[in-house]
Each structure stands twice: as C-alpha cells, then as structure tokens.
Amino acid sequence: MKLWRSLQSGLLGVAVLWSTVSVAAAKDLPDFTELVEKQGPAVVNISTTQTVSGGAANPFAEGDPAYEFFKRFMPQLPKQRDYQTRSLGSGFIISADGVILTNAHVVDGADEITVKLTDKREFKAKLIGADKRTDVAVLKIEASKLPIVTLGDPDKLKVGEWVLAIGSPFGLENTVTAGIVSAKGRTLPDDTYVPFIQTDAAVNPGNSGGPLFNMRGEVIGINSQIYSRSGGFMGLSFSIPIDVAMDVANQLKSNGRISRGKLGINIQEVSKDIAESLGLGAPSGALVVGVEKGSAADRAGLKAGDVILKFDNKPIGASSELPRVVGSTKPGSKVQLQVWRNKASQDVTVTLGEVVDDSAKAKPAAPPKPDALVRIGLQVTELNAAQKRQLDVGFGLLVTSAQGAAARAGVEEGDVIIGVSNETLKSQQQLLLLLERAPKGSVVALLIRRDDSTLYIPVRVPEK
C-alpha cells in the first residue's frame, strides 16, 4: 500500500512538472492571433480577367494549298473565338479611401480587376500604375473608411525573426502562414532594383501581392516570388521591401511613371583574382566593363577597368548594390563617385541621366579563320572594319580557339578581346607585349565582348 501511494505521488509530480514545462514552452512560442485579427481585414483578394483571341479555325496558313480546301469544302468549321483567362492574387489597403498595393504581375494585361474584402464586399478596381522592374502595382477602388495596414521599416528587420504572410494561395482567401527571415538583400536574376527579403514562410501561387508582417503587426514587404522546382512552396520565398514598394507607389500616384537615375555602364562582380590584377586590396565594389557612349558615365570620364567603390558616400560592397542606389537617385542629380583606377583611388563627379527602354545591341559577325597563338593558349584574329562598326569598338581580337589557361578561366571561342586590365586594345602586338611582361603566376584581366554583354575574365599566366 505504501509502495502504491509512493508511486502515485511520483506520477503526480511528473504530471505537474510536465504541465509546467508545457506552459513555459507555449509561452515561448509566438502568438499571431492578435496580429491577424487587427491587420487581416486590410488584406484583400484580387481576381483578374483577360480576353485572349483564339486561334483560327482553319489549321493551315494562307498560301498553303490545303488552306483553300478547308475554306471551300469545310465551311462548317467554327469561326475564330475569343476566350477569357482568369488569375488570382493578393493585395493590401494602404489608405482608407481605397488605395491598394499588389504585384505588377498579378494585374499584368488584365481587362478587369476585382477586389474582394474580408467582409465579402467586391469592388471593380482601377489600375493607377505598375512598374515591372520592381513588380509593384497600385490599384484604386471607390470606397471609404476602409481598414488599412501599418507600415514598418525593413532596415530594422533582423535575420531570424518571425514574420507572417497573409494571402490567397490557390484561391484560398485569407490564409495565414508564418516563418522566419532567412536573409536580407537578396539579388535575383533580372531583378537589379530590389534587395529582396528571403523568408521560409509558406508562399504559393495566389499569395503574390500579399503583405509580409513582422511581429509588431507592421508590413515590411510584399510577397512576390518563390523558388520552386515543382511550382509549389519549397521553403524559399522572396518579398519586396516595403520602403522600395512605397517609393514606387508614390511616384506612380504622383507622376504615373517611375523616374530612375542612370549611369550608363555595364558592370560585374570584383572577384579575388580581378582585385589582385587591378591592385585592389579587397574584392569589393562594382567593376566597370563597358561605358555607353554619350551617357552620364561617359561624360564624367568613367572607363572600362574602373572599380566604383562608393556612390554618394555609400560604400558599394558588391556590384549588385550599385543599380539599386543609382536607380533610387533622381535623374539630373550630381553625385560623387569614389573610383579605383590605375591602382589608386580618385573622386569623380557625375550628373545622372535617366533610365529609358533598352535598345538592341549589335552582335559580332561570324568568326574568321585562326591567325596567331598567344602565350595563354589563345588563337585570335583581328576584327575587320564591318565587325568593328557592328560592335562599336576601335579594335578587337576575335577568339577562334581557346585552350590551356584561357579556357580554364572561361574564355570561349567567339569572344572578342577589347582590353586588358585598364588598357584598351589597339593592336594584337599590344596584347602580346602585355602578356610577355606579366610575371609568371600573376593574373591578367581580359576585357571580353561576348554576344551582347561585356565582362572581365581573369586569366592566370602559366608558371611554365
């Protein structure tokens, strides 16, 4: 009997201890309920329709003999018809009179936009403006006294803190998902103007345009993209910082368009080997690999081989940072750059131009036959007059074969060498002389034109 009472007492103690641990653990977990109740009503569902022209009933093109056969003997074929496509997304209200933020891709090409609130009211929305470069769009519905979100400061966001996403994944309205901030300042392909916030909050098709909240109930981003091999969530979600989105939204509301500063240069990352070849102490900054004629950079005297270390006193740690700070600066502004040139730092003042639509770039002509073998494993031949005009260069050496050190570094057949380190090539002899003078084991940076892009490729001179 005493043994049984002792056992009962022990079990009771374990139960009390387990209950205490469970309560403590529960207190440590984030509670999103109050946030959702307060901010959820300002999140909206967005649906769009777009009219698309159907294909012709006659499966053959005009001019094909079979086209006339179908036209004459099968008149009962249905005529061409239009059909409608529908898409779903999310958004959130930023002013009580009905201004809404969402993604540009959510409303791209839409003939009709419908906004549905959490109280089931529906409104036809007007597109105020959209910017595809940042994927931000502004809508307006005719309503008043609407619930609005509270905006936060993405700069205060810390990696590892909890965040919450609300949206309509796969049309499931007002779905709440949570996660943490995985990284900040992410650069994605073709998205040079947005320093994305990466999270592991579950985001799926339909979440696009919805808000990302911090634990204080403030919107710190717009859910925009996911990385996925399957089309569904895989733990990698990307959001546009709300300060970037609001800058775009304010310009769209005021001017109906976005005005961005432009330098007029092509850049690439500064690798360790390139930094060594240019005498730069650390691999940082943005390496200039091309300057557009007549651009702000050209007027200021920037040239290929320069490394931009600072823009308006803001350090440029990586090349991806430069387009963001330039794009966010007003065209016509005078800005001071800190530039690394000829193994020394110097200041350059530039008056920014304005971003316009990209124009088509010339492509090199078919490569001529091999001509010469250079020290690092290249066979090259000089461009003819027509090819130089097409590429808009004074001189260039077309690579007809790449082997050895050059091939290992990434030089390819069809590349055009237009410079070495800070020097613009004017002859093949100049290249040979520079390579002969380069110490064994050192790095020589070749300025290469490849298709419609320009880049530096660091080639290490063989020891033997």
Number of domains in the chain: 3
High-pLDDT (> 70) share of the chain, %: 81
- Is there a domain that residue 278 lies in? yes
Separation of alpha carbons 39 and 179, rounded Å:
17
User: For 402-444, how does the pLDDT look when each residue is reduced to its tens digit (9 = 90+)?
Assistant: 888 888 889 998 899 998 877 888 888 888 888 877 788 888 8
| CA end-to-end distance (rounded Å), the chain | 92
d(CA 161, CA 294): 47
The values of phi and psi at residue 22, to 5°, are -65, -45
Looking at the structure, tell me whether residues 241 and 277 fall in a common domain: no
Q: How confident is the model at residue 11 (pLDDT cuts 50, 70, 90)?
A: low
pLDDT (0 to 100) of residue 152: 96
For residues 347 and 265, state if they share a domain: yes
Task: Give me the domain span that covers residue 399.
Answer: 378-461
Higher pLDDT, 324 or 239: 239
pLDDT tens for 120-155 read 999 999 999 999 999 999 999 999 999 999 999 999
Is there a domain that residue 3 lies in? no
* Mean pLDDT confidence for 356-382: 52
Q: Evaluate if residue 297 carries a pLDDT over 70.
A: yes
Phi, psi of 42 (to 5 degrees): -90, 0
CA atoms within 13 A on the CB side of 137: 26
Instruction: Tell me whether residue 9 is in a domain.
Output: no
* Domain limit, last residue, from 236, 255, 274: 255
Share of the chain above pLDDT 90, in %: 48
When the pLDDT of each residue in the chain is averaged and rounded to a whole number, the result is 83
Torsion, Cα 176 182 183 184, to 10 degrees, reads 20
Say what the pLDDT of residue 19 is: 56
CA distance 129 to 147: 22
Domain termination residue (choose one: 196, 228, 255):
255
Pick from 374, 342, 345: which is nearest to 459 by CA? 374
**Which helix (DSSP H) or strand (DSSP E) does residue 274 occupy?**
helix 272-277
Do both 408 and 336 map to the same domain? no
| 196 — pLDDT class (breaks 50, 70, 90) | very high
DSSP bridge pairs for 95: 99
At residue 65, the 3 state secondary structure works out as helix
- Is 58 inside a domain boundary? no
Question: Within a domain: residue 87?
Answer: no
Residues 384 and 340 in one domain: no
Instruction: Tell me whether residue 294 is in a domain.
Output: yes
Q: What's the number of CA atoms in the CB half-sphere (13 Å) around residue 416?
A: 30
Q: Are residues 319 and 396 in the same domain?
A: no
Residue 109 has pLDDT above 90, yes or no: no
> What is the mean pLDDT of the segment spanning 290-297?
91
Q: Are residues 157 and 251 in the same domain?
A: yes
Residues 295, 327, single domain; the answer is: yes
**Which of 153, 269, 128, 283 lies closest to 216 in space, CA to CA?**
153
d(CA 117, CA 122): 6
* Residue where a domain terminates, one of 319, 354, 389: 354
Residues classed as catalytic? 105, 135, 208
Among residues 330, 266, 260, which one has the least CA distance to residue 302?
A: 266
State the pLDDT confidence band at 261, using cuts at 50, 70 and 90. very high
Work out the angle at residue 395's Cα, subtended by the Cα atoms of residues 398 and 440, and round it to the nearest 5 degrees.
65
CA dihedral of 325, 327, 332, 335, whole degrees rounded to 10: 20
Residues 193 and 222 in one domain: yes
The CATH number covering residue 387 comes to: 2.30.42.10
CB 411 within 8 A of CB 399: yes
Q: Domain check: are 180 and 251 in the same one?
A: yes
The enclosing domain of 235 has a CATH number of 2.40.10.10
pLDDT band at 10 (very low <50, low <70, confident <90, very high): low
278 and 333 in a single domain? The answer is yes
Over the range 36-75, which residues count as b (16 or more CB within 10 Å of their CB) and which as e? beebbbbbbbbbbeeeeeeeeebeeeeeeeeeeeeeeeee
Tens-digit pLDDT profile for residues 202-243: 998 899 999 999 999 999 999 998 887 766 778 899 999 999
pLDDT (tens digit per residue) in 43-68: 999 999 887 655 545 554 555 555 55
**287 lies in some domain:** yes
pLDDT in tens, 72-86: 555 555 555 555 677
Looking at the structure, tell me whether residues 228 and 293 fall in a common domain.
Answer: no
The model's confidence at residue 200, banded by pLDDT at 50, 70 and 90, is very high
Instruction: Check whether 358 has a pLDDT greater than 70.
Output: no
Residue 31, domain member (yes or no): no
Q: Please tell me whether residues 229 and 276 are part of one structural domain.
A: no
